Amino acid sequence: EGAFLSVRDLHVSFRTEDGVVRAVDGLSFDLERGRTLGIVGESGSGKSVTNLTILGLHNPMFTSVEGEILLDGKELTTARESELEKLRGNKVAMIFQDPLTALSPYYTVGRQIAEPYMKHMRASKKAAWERAVDMLGKVGIPNPKQRAKDYPHQFSGGMRQRAMIAMALVCDPDLLIADEPTTALDVTVQAQILDLLKNLQQEFGSAIVFITHDLGVIADMADDIMVMYAGRAVERGSVDEVLRAPQHPYTWGLLNSMPRLDSDPNIPLAPIPGTPPSLLRPPSGCRFHPRCTFQERVGGTRCVTEVPLLGPDRDSACHLTADQKRTIFVEEIKPR
């Protein structure tokens, strides 16, 4: 009973000067140990907010959180800050796009990796330093014994990213949240870091939530995928299912707006028209309707008036029939 991480009907909204932003609107998903869930969507889709909420890093003054986040059976939405802080050092870790948000310029890289290990694993200073050196080696830093004594500014961007991953993994977290961890890196380093995460996951058996806007990275990294749009999940399933036969017009748009190995280079990429909506006043019905070219196939005004719901397991939140979804993808989308 109960997945390792279980998010149930999560609603997150925050107050701004302009009104209430409904950043996450009824999100549910499960994640087991040793598995990777890829969350994909444009900025403003709610993917980052979801994960900050899991970590308890939202500002409680301005944020309202409803629903359940169960980690190993423990409810996080009502946990005290002291409990969350313990969790963040120990069970749950996060890697960000920018390593400088995690690394302090004032301390050596080795010390910053050793510190959480001392604190949460009650290790001696010496044991923690050895562990830090060991972790730096594991993430592929050459000559780790020497480099552990360096400061972050003495590392290249790719090495800082690796150091941050070493820091995130030093206490063997059960859950790792990676938010666009490789976006700022060049392709070669990116591939190395992704390989590294896969190897480390095999070694430590962590569950990983991998947030990105890049379907190619998801294909490479994730077991399951959840596509988010404007605060809601619009499609989910195994990576194979969703990438082989996507069912939602927004997922089709994402696929058509990225280069694929098998696509004809003479056919230009087709970006999704328009921009994601403001979550101050989200569109009625299907939130994708202002950008969707398939509404007339549904007929009437259903797309504008009725919220399409996402079922459990493999599904997509769209009023098109299963038959229409299949046919449109095979006959109109895929040939690109």
Quote the CA–CA distance of 203 and 37 in Å, as a whole number.
18
Which residue number, 185 or 307, has a Cβ lying nearer to ligand SF4? 307
Which residue number, 71 or 303, has a Cβ lying nearer to ligand SF4? 303
DSSP, residue by residue, 153-183:
GGS-HHHHHHHHHHHHHTT--SEEEEESTTT
69 binds, among ligand SF4, Mg ion, none (CB under 5 to 8 A by kind): none
Which residue number, 4 or 252, has a Cβ lying nearer to ligand SF4? 252
Quote the CA–CA distance of 12 and 24 in Å, as a whole number.
5
Q: Which residues bind Mg ion (CB under 5 A)?
A: 48
Say how many C-beta atoms besides its own lie within 10 A of residue 203's C-beta.
11
Nearest to 206 by CA among 187, 229, 178: 178
Out of 92, 135, 289, 329, point to the residue binding ligand SF4 (CB under 6 A): 289
CB 31 within 8 A of CB 209: yes
Kindly state the smallest distance separating residue 296's Cβ from ligand SF4, in Å: 9
Quote the CA–CA distance of 72 and 5 in Å, as a whole number.
6
Kindly state the smallest distance separating residue 74's Cβ from ligand SF4, in Å: 36
Kindly state the smallest distance separating residue 237's Cβ from ligand SF4, in Å: 16
Applying CB under 6 A, the span of 117-125, 140-148, 188-196, 313-321 interacting with ligand SF4 comes to 313-321
Nearest to 197 by CA among 174, 166, 158: 166
Applying CB under 6 A, the span of 130-138, 142-150, 271-279, 295-303 interacting with ligand SF4 comes to 295-303
**Which token pair is 119?**
């604190």
Out of 170, 277, 318, 329, point to the residue binding ligand SF4 (CB under 6 A): 318
In the chain, helix, strand, coil percent, each to 5?
A: 40, 20, 40
Report if residue 233 touches ligand SF4, rule: CB under 6 A: no
Applying CB under 6 A, the span of 85-93, 147-155, 272-280, 283-291 interacting with ligand SF4 comes to 283-291
308 binds, among Mg ion, ligand SF4, none (CB under 5 to 8 A by kind): ligand SF4
What distance separates the 2 farthest-apart alpha carbons in the chain? 70
Burial (0-12, 13-18, 19+ Cβ within 10 Å), 68: middle
Kindly state the smallest distance separating residue 142's Cβ from ligand SF4, in Å: 49
* Residue type for position 197: L
48 binds, among Mg ion, ligand SF4, none (CB under 5 to 8 A by kind): Mg ion
Which residue number, 158 or 249, has a Cβ lying nearer to ligand SF4? 249
H, E, C per residue of 264-316: CCCCCCCCCCCCCCCCCCCCCCCCCHHHCCCHHHHCCCHHHHCCCCCCCCCEE
Size of interface with ligand SF4, in residues (CB under 6 A): 13
Out of 171, 310, 320, 329, point to the residue binding ligand SF4 (CB under 6 A): 320
The residues that touch ligand SF4, with contacts defined as CB under 6 A, are 249, 286, 288-289, 292, 294-295, 298, 303, 308, 318-320
